[in-house]
Structure 1
Amino acid sequence: MLWLYNFGIFLYNLVVKSIAPYNSKAKLFIQGRKHLFSILEEKITKGQKHVWFHFASLGEFEQGRPVLEKIKILYPHKKIIITFFSPSGYEVRKNYALAEGIFYLPLDTASNARKFIEIVNPEIAIFTKYEFWHHYFKVLKEKNIPLFLISGIFRSNQMFFKWYGGFYRNMLSCITWFFVQNEESVNLLQQIGLQNVELSGDTRFDRVYENAEAVKSLPLIEEFISRAPVFLAGSTWPADENLLTQLTLKHPGWKFILAPHEIGADHIRQIEKQFPSAVRYSTLQSSSADKQVLIIDNIGLLSSLYQYGTVAYIGGGFGAGIHNTLEAAAFGLPVIFGPRYEKFQEAKDLVLRKAAISIHNEQELENAFEHFSSQPAFGQMAKDYVKERKGATEGILKKISKYLN
C-alpha cells in the first residue's frame, strides 16, 4: 500500500504542475514550494525548538487559532511555526504576527518529511481536524515528538474503519492524543483499539464566540445598510448566487450582502451581471446607500459582516459541502444552506434546534427567508447553541501543557 500512496503523491504533484499555467491556485501551490527548504534554513534558527501547527487551509486555521493563541499567552517564549497545505490558507495568513515562520507544507515524501522535521525541530506537532500524512507522522513517531489532532471528526465510511484500511490505521497509531468533536468519533476510534481519545468539542466555537464579542464596527457598511434588515450570503458559489437573484427582487426593503467564496475577476463580473445595480465593496462610498446589493470583493471581511445580518445564507451546500455556519450563528443569525450538510455536525445540530433550514430550490429559499425574517427568536437559538459549546480550547490546553517544557 505504501508504494500506491507514494505514487498518489507523485501523481498529484504532476497534475498540479500541469494545470498551474491555467489555474491560479495550482500556480500558487507550486510557486510557494519552490526552494522551500532553502527558505526554511534561512529563516529558522538552527537547533531552536518549535511548536508546529499544520492547517489544511484557512478554515482549519481559524479552527485551531484559539489553541495557538492560548499557547502563546501561556508560553510567550515558545516559537511557533505554521504550515498550510492550501494556498487559500497560506496567502491570507502568511503575515500572521504570532508565528515565527509561516510556510507551505512540502509534499509528503519520505525525504521531505525527514528534512522538514529536522529543520523545524518541533517540540510538539498539532494538526487540526484532518490531514493525515504518512511520512510526516512516521518521522514524528520515530523521533518521539508528540502529535495531537484537535477538533477531529471521524465517520464510519472513512478508510480507517474499512477492513482493508490497515495502512491508514497505522497513521492514526502515530497520534499521541485525539481531541474529537463528537461521540461517534470517540466510538469509532475506540473500536479500532485507540483509547487515547477525548471528547473535547470543537475549538471553532471558541473562535467564533471570541470574534462576536470583540468585533469592530465597519462604518461604510453601516452607511450602506442605513437601518434596513440585511440578508447576508457568505461563501457563495454560482449555484447559490443563482438562487438569490429573485429573492432580491421580491424584497426591495432588504439589503443583500454577497460574499462569494471565490473573488476572481471573472466571478465578480458574473455576479454583477446577475445583480446589475449592485456595488462592489472596493468601490463602496457614502453615496452608495441607495444600492440594494453589495458584493464583497476581498477576503477576510466576512466574519465581521455578520454583526449586521438579520438572516444568513451559507454557501457550498450545492457543491462539496457548506462552509462555516458558526460565524453567523455566533452573532445570533438563523442560517439557511443547501442540501449537502450531513458531514457538518454543527449544521445538523442547528437544524435540529430549528435555527437552520436546508433548502433545495428557489421556492424553499423563499419559504425559509419568510420564516426566519418574521421570527427573530430563532436567531437567539443559534447564538445560545454557540455559547453552550464553547470551552474546547481550555480542555485541550490542559492535556497539551503536560508535553510543553
Structure 2
Amino acid sequence: MSLSIFCYNAGIRAYRAVLGLAAGIGGNKKAQLWLNGRKDPWPALEAALKGAERVLWVHAASLGEFEQGRPVLEALRKEYPGLRILLTFFSPSGYEVRKNYPGADHVCYLPLDTPANAQRFLDIVKPSLAIFIKYEFWYHYLHNMYARKVPVILVSGVFRPGQVFFKWYGGMFRGLLRGMDRLFVQDDASLRLLNDHGISQAAVAGDTRFDRVWQLRQHPVSLPEIERFITANDVLVAGSTWEADEKVIAGWWYGGGREGRQLVLAPHEINASHIEDIQTLFPDAVKYSEFAAGKAGPAAVLIIDNVGMLSALYRYGRTAYVGGGFGKEGIHNLLEPATYGKPVIIGPVFHQFLEAETLVQNRGAIVINNAEELRRAVDALQDPYFYGQAEETAGRFVEQNQGATEKIVRYIQEKRFLTSE
C-alpha cells in the first residue's frame, strides 16, 4: 500500500469518527442522518437491482449536483426504458429531499469509501455505466471500477489549478481522472488544464444546469400557497441565503426597502435554530408552514421552512437575490432565477463561478457589498429600461447555453455502454 492510499484511508476513518462524535455528543442532525442512512444498505440495494440486465449508477454529492445531472439521467431513462437506475448521494441535503425521486429505481446513500464497501457495492450493482456529477472522486470505488472495466463518465466538471489533482502530491488523484472514459467539462479553461496534465479524454460539453433550468421555464410549476400569499406587485425572492445575506437584507428591508413590497426568504439551512434567528431579524415574518396551514395571516415577509420548492419559487418574484456571496461557499445557483428572466442580485464572492461572472459582465446580475448597495440595486431596477435589459440578458443567457445534455447522451449512445449485445 502506497503512502498516499494509507493517508487517504486514514482520512476516511477520521472523517467517520468526527461524524460519530458530532452525531452522538454534539447531537448534529445532519451527522445523524448521514450515519443512520448508511446502516446496512445492502439488503435494499440487492432487492432493488435483483435480476437487472443493465444498471446505470449516477452519483451526486448533494441536491445541487443532482439537479445539475438530472437532465442527463432523465434523457437516458427515456432513451433506454429497460434500464435500471441507481442514484446515490453523499450528503443528507441531497438524499433527504430526493429519496423518493421517481426517475430512479433505487435511491440511497453511498456507503463510505473503504475497500470492503466498494467491493461489496460493485458486486451487487454491477453497473454498465457510472456517471459522477461535477465533484467527488472516491478512490476505492473508482479504482475498483477501472479494474472491472466499468466505463465511468464525469458530467459538468470544473477544474482549477489549485485543486489537489494538479499539486505535486496529487498523483493518486490525477490517476483517478486518467482512468475515466470521458470527462465532460464546462469550459475551455478546465479542458486546457486537464490536457496540460496528460488527461486527454476530456471534452467541453457545457453545464447541464442550463438544460435543467430551461426545462423549468418550459414547464413552470405552480405554487398555490405562494400565489395566495403574494399581494404586492414588487416581490423580492431571496434564495439559498445564509446568516450574512439575511443581515444585509434585513438592513435594507427595515431601512426603507419594504415600502410597497413583499419579501420571500428561502434560507439554505432550515433547522429550527436558523429559522428562529431569521424571525429575530424579521419579527413581522410568517413561516410558510404556518401560512399554508392557515395558522398565519397576510404578511410582508414569508420564510420558506422547507426544501425543494426554490427553483419554482423564483418565478414569483420581480427580482431575485441569490445567497452565499458573503461567505467562503460562494453563491448558489443563480441560473434558476435567470431562466425566468429575473434580474439577480448577489454578494461579492462569485468569481469562481463562470455563469456568475458572465451575467455580471453582461448586466444580468448586480453585485452588492452591503445593505446600502442592495438599496441602490433595487432602486435602479425600478427603472423600466434598466430592468428590461437585465431581464432580457438573464433569460437569453440561459436559452443560449443549452445543449450539454444532448452532447453527453449522444456520446453514450455512440459508445453503446447501455446497449445489450
Q: TM-score, normalised by structure 2?
A: 0.93
Q: Which residue of 1 aligns with 2:334?
A: 325
- How far residue 289 of structure 1 moved from its aligned partner, in angstroms, is 7.2
3-state secondary structure, aligned to 2:9 = helix
User: Aligned pair in 2 of structure 1 residues 43, 77: CA closer, same or farther (>3 Å)?
Assistant: closer
What is residue 272 of structure 1 aligned with on the other side? 279
SS at match of 1:131: coil
SS in 2 for 1:376: helix
Give 1:193 shift: 1.2
- Counterpart among 379, 394, 399 of residue 411 in structure 2: 399
Distance (whole Å) between structure 2 residues aligned to residue 130 and residue 101 of structure 1? 21
Matched with 2:311 is: 303
Q: How far 1:360 moved relative to its partner?
A: 1.8
Contact 2:252/2:372 (<8 A) preserved: no
Of residues 353, 376, 380, the one that matches 2:387 is: 376
Larger mean CA deviation between 37-46 and 157-166 belongs to 37-46
Correspondence list, 1:205-244, <5 A: 205-244=210-249
- Given that 1:310 and 1:373 are in contact with CA atoms closer than 8 Å, whether structure 2 keeps it comes out as no
Q: Aligned runs of 1:140-155 on 2, under 5 Å?
A: 140-155=145-160
**Distance (whole Å) between structure 1 residues aligned to residue 36 and residue 166 of structure 2:** 36
Distance 1:255 1:287 in 2: 19
Task: Kindly indicate whether residue 200 of structure 2 is the aligned counterpart of residue 186 of structure 1.
Answer: no
Partner of 1:71: 76
Amino acid in the other structure paired with 1:283 = E
Distance 1:108 1:62 in 2: 23
Cα gap change, 1:227 to 1:288, in 2 (>3 Å): farther
| Residue 260 of structure 2 is aligned to residue 253 of structure 1 | yes
Q: Give 2:201's match in structure 1, choosing from 178, 196, 199.
A: 196
Provide the rounded CA distance (Å) in 2 between the counterparts of 1:330 and 1:255.
21
3-state SS, counterpart of residue 339 of structure 1: coil
The Cα shift of 1:173 comes to: 1.3
Q: Which of these residues, 383, 402, 405, is aligned with residue 390 of structure 1?
A: 402
Question: For residues 44 and 73 of structure 1, what CA distance do their matches in structure 2 show?
Answer: 19
Residues 147, 176 of structure 1: 8 Å contact kept: yes
Shift of 1:280: 1.2
Query: What is the Cα deviation at residue 358 of structure 1?
Result: 2.0
SS at the partner of 1:284?
helix
CA distance in 1, matches of 2:36, 2:298: 43
Which position in structure 2 is the counterpart of 1:353?
362
Letter of the structure 2 residue corresponding to residue 278 of structure 1: A
Shift of 1:361: 1.6
CA distance, structure 2, for counterparts of residue 17 and residue 220 of structure 1: 39
1:313 to 321, 341, 357: 321
C-alpha distance in 2, partners of 1:219/1:111?
48
Q: Following the alignment from structure 1 to structure 2, what is the Cα–Cα distance between the partners of residues 141 and 400? A: 17
What is the 5 A alignment of 1:131-170? 131-170=136-175
Cα displacement (A) at 1:136:
0.8
Aligned length: 405
Q: In the alignment, which residue of structure 1 is the partner of 2:288? A: 281
Instruction: Find the counterpart in structure 1 of residue 19 from structure 2.
Output: 16
Work out the CA distance in 2 between the residues paired with 1:12 and 1:288.
Answer: 43
Aligned-pair identity in percent equals: 47
Structure 2: 5+ residue runs without aligned partners? none
Q: Does 2:7 match 1:4? A: yes
Q: What letter is aligned with 1:35?
A: D
Do 2:319 and 2:343's aligned partners in 1 also have CA atoms closer than 8 Å? yes
Partner of 2:117: 112
Q: TM-score, normalised by structure 1?
A: 0.97
2:270 aligned counterpart, secondary structure: coil
String of CA shifts for 1:225-267, please: whole Å, max 9, x gaps: 2242111100111111111113223132111000011111111
In the alignment, the residues of structure 2 paired with residue 327 and residue 5 of structure 1 have an alpha-carbon distance, to the nearest angstrom, of 36
Question: What is the aligned partner in structure 1 of residue 180 from structure 2?
Answer: 175
Counterpart pick for 1:56 among 36, 61, 81:
61
Give distance in 1, aligned partners of 2:201 and 2:260.
Answer: 54
Question: Is 2:22–2:28's contact at 8 Å kept on the other side of the alignment?
Answer: yes
Name the amino acid aligned to 1:366: R
**Stretch deviating more after TM superposition (302-311 or 52-61):** 302-311
Are residues 331 and 47 of structure 1, via their aligned partners in 2, closer, same or farther at CA, if it must alter by over 3 Å? closer
For 1:287 and 1:295, the matched residues in 2 are separated by: 14
* Letter of the structure 2 residue corresponding to residue 8 of structure 1: G
Deviations 1:82-105 (A, max 9, x none): 000000000000001121111100
Contact 1:46 1:119 in 2 (8 A): no
Does the residue aligned with 2:146 lie in a helix, a strand or coil?
helix
- Mapped partners of 1:116, 1:57: distance in 2: 20
Any unmatched runs of 5+ in structure 1?
none
- Give distance in 2, aligned partners of 1:79 and 1:157: 37
Deviates more, 1:293-302 or 1:55-64: 293-302
